[in-house]
Amino acid sequence: MSAEKIIYLEKKKYGNNSCYGYGISDENMAAAEAAGTLPVLKLRSEHIFALGGEDGKLVPVAMLMGRDGDNYTADEPYVKSMLAAGMEPVFIHYGNVESQLRDVCGLLLPGGSFDSPKEWYKHPELLKNHCLNSRSAAYIAACRYALSAGLPVLGICAGHQMMAGVFQPGLQMYARIPEETAVSETHKGHKEDYVHKVEISKDSRLYRILGKSELEVNSNHNEAIIDRGTAYDKIRISAVSPEGIVEAWEARDEKIFVLGVQWHPEYLASEYRDKNAARLFEVLAAEAYGFCQRKKNPVLF
């Protein structure tokens, strides 16, 4: 493609979402690509200001986009939480992922409904209509690039699972928590409510970030990482639910910032002004700023 073309995302409610999102249709994406240009997806200045951001004075952090029907989408709670923490969301679509990440200072991997590689699951026979689609491939490509470049990363829900699987060889996952564990209460379907506690290890980076050994969180997942303790040499499990379901992990190597959480801090931060949830985005912003300073990245400010 010969040149970049800025395309501004449209704000509206996509599909059955209860919250607003920012998106672009496949038709408009295809039109830009057919013209021989690389689409660069951005927010309009008025949307940035309305959500509390300050255009032109933010740290550029990539965010993988989601899918809703025939649209690329980014849910407003993610966007709002990033802007409030001082990050400019750089919206990543599923083509030429590595080239889109070259000038960013960090990576946010949102949650969503898409499949991880089959070999990660302890009981893959429980998977229904399993398919590694373009979204799965884009997440894997982004994770690999981030690890090779040393980008700070925050993974949320499915994003935390995907990053863990790419980062940690031999990772294992539950495909369906109720069928594979003794946990009777589902962890699925409660993004809007505080539904259970997580217990945070006091020797973890997450504990140092939040200063808490216990946290009340929301929950919206069927799958989960299996805790294999020291069998994982790249990642450390840093939080679990009271029943032992993995709720957070982090890189054992603290020279890099890689953190994943199973709950949805973007919703708690944007809708409930939860300071603990907002703190996760603030730390990602600080780590991204430090990354750019170390690399003397010319795109910063």
| 100 found inside a domain | yes
Classified as helix, coil or strand, 132 is coil
pLDDT value, residue 296: 67
Q: Are 163 and 153 in contact (CB under 8 A)?
A: yes
Q: Are 157 and 249 in contact (CB under 8 A)?
A: no
Rounded to the nearest integer, the mean pLDDT of the chain is 91
pLDDT value, residue 55: 66
Q: Are 237 and 251 in contact (CB under 8 A)?
A: no
pLDDT at 301 over 80: no
Q: Cα separation of 52 and 84, whole Å?
A: 6
pLDDT at 74 over 90: yes
Q: How many residues does the chain have?
A: 301
* Helices within 71-221 (DSSP H only): 76-84, 97-100, 134-149, 158-167, 177-180, 205-210
The enclosing domain of 285 has a CATH number of 3.40.50.880
**Cα dihedral 49, 55, 60, 63 sign:** positive
| 44 found inside a domain | yes
Least confident of 43-57, 115-129, 224-238, 270-284: 43-57
One-letter amino acid for residue 78 of the chain: Y
Q: How large a percentage of the chain has pLDDT more than 70?
A: 96
| 300 found inside a domain | no
pLDDT value, residue 190: 72
What is residue 73's DSSP assignment?
E
Q: Are strands 246-251 and 235-240 parallel, antiparallel or unpaired?
A: antiparallel
pLDDT at 299 over 60: no
Mean pLDDT, to the nearest integer, of 80-102?
Answer: 95
Torsion, Cα 153 154 158 160, to 10 degrees, reads 80
Q: Are strands 258-261 and 153-156 parallel, antiparallel or unpaired?
A: parallel
Name the token pair of 156: 């949320």
Q: Cα separation of 108 and 153, whole Å?
A: 6
Domain with 131, as residue range(s), is 3-295
| 43 found inside a domain | yes
| 230 found inside a domain | yes
pLDDT at 297 over 60: no
Q: Looking at the whole model, is its pTM more than 0.75?
A: yes
pLDDT value, residue 176: 87
The pLDDT-based confidence of 131 (bands split at 50, 70, 90) is confident
Question: What would the pLDDT profile of 167-225 be if each residue is shown by its tens digit?
Answer: 999 999 999 888 888 876 667 777 888 999 999 999 999 999 999 999 999 998 889 99
| 20 found inside a domain | yes
The pLDDT-based confidence of 300 (bands split at 50, 70, 90) is very low
Q: How many structural domains are present in the chain?
A: 1
| 22 found inside a domain | yes
Q: Cα separation of 52 and 39, whole Å?
A: 25
